[in-house]
Chains A and B, each alone.
Chain A
């Protein structure tokens, strides 16, 4: 009965590869987010989708492409991975713009070697 789930939990890959991280929520929310937490534990929003439509797109390289096939899913695809992409990526969801009531997933630790 996990509320927000992400797969995989850990991802180790080499520079230049393309990888995807999946996120699913069963809370019935219509807004989903991707955050990046760097080595200093600072969380920064990357993208947000509401009803499958992109509503927030922070200054993120074009190599990152979110995809929302439906309201319950928001996947993150990363092309040509770089060392600086190593971080923990968190998915979150909320209802509407109630961003202060968002629920976070467990995170995906991405290590690029």
Chain B
């Protein structure tokens, strides 16, 4: 069964600190992986996309890594800001078109002053 598991479920950190969110997947055949940020009451917004051949990709203070061998991805947030408080969802896409997408349950991050 294709699954995407994220950890931790929730996380509270102080403003200015770094944190790392984890995503493990069993999806196959893997096409690509995307991290989304979902603010409360809003739709998910894409942060970064990782393809099979990419190990790391940065988008400002967000850095995503991918280990396709161990089927793990991480999202590292540097120098956190209050506006980083949101849910972060790992989404894995399977080769082959429309239907094949699996969402993780997300990590709820709260950044406190």
Write the chain A residue with the least CB distance to B44.
A104
List B31-64 residues whose CB lies under 8 Å from chain A.
31-32, 34, 41-46, 49
Q: Interface size bucket, B side? A: 20 to 34
Q: What total of chain A residues lie within 8 Å of the partner, measured CB to CB?
A: 23
Check if A100 sits within 8 Å of B43, measured CB to CB: no
Chain-A contact segment, one of B19-27, B65-73, B76-84, B94-102: B94-102
**List of A residues within 8 angstroms of B99 by Cβ:** 45, 48, 56
Check if A97 sits within 8 Å of B98, measured CB to CB: yes
Query: With the chains together, A101 CA to B34 CA distance in Å?
Result: 9
Write the chain B residue with the least CB distance to A38.
B105
Check if B97 sits within 8 Å of A97, measured CB to CB: yes
Query: With the chains together, A99 CA to B32 CA distance in Å?
Result: 11
**List of B residues within 8 angstroms of A45 by Cβ:** 99, 101
Interface on A for B, CB 8 Å cutoff?
4, 31, 40-45, 48, 50, 55-56, 90, 92, 97, 99-101, 104-107, 109
Which 4 pairs from chain A and chain B are nearest by CB? A104-B43, A43-B103, A97-B97, A100-B93
The 18 sampled A-B contact pairs (Cβ below 8 Å) are A4-B43, A41-B105, A41-B106, A41-B108, A42-B103, A43-B44, A43-B89, A45-B99, A55-B98, A56-B98, A56-B99, A90-B43, A101-B46, A104-B44, A105-B43, A106-B41, A107-B41, A107-B42
Other A-B pairs, 17, CB within 8 Å; known A41-B108, A100-B32: A44-B103, A45-B99, A48-B99, A50-B98, A56-B99, A90-B44, A99-B93, A99-B101, A100-B31, A100-B49, A100-B101, A104-B44, A106-B41, A106-B42, A106-B43, A107-B41, A107-B43
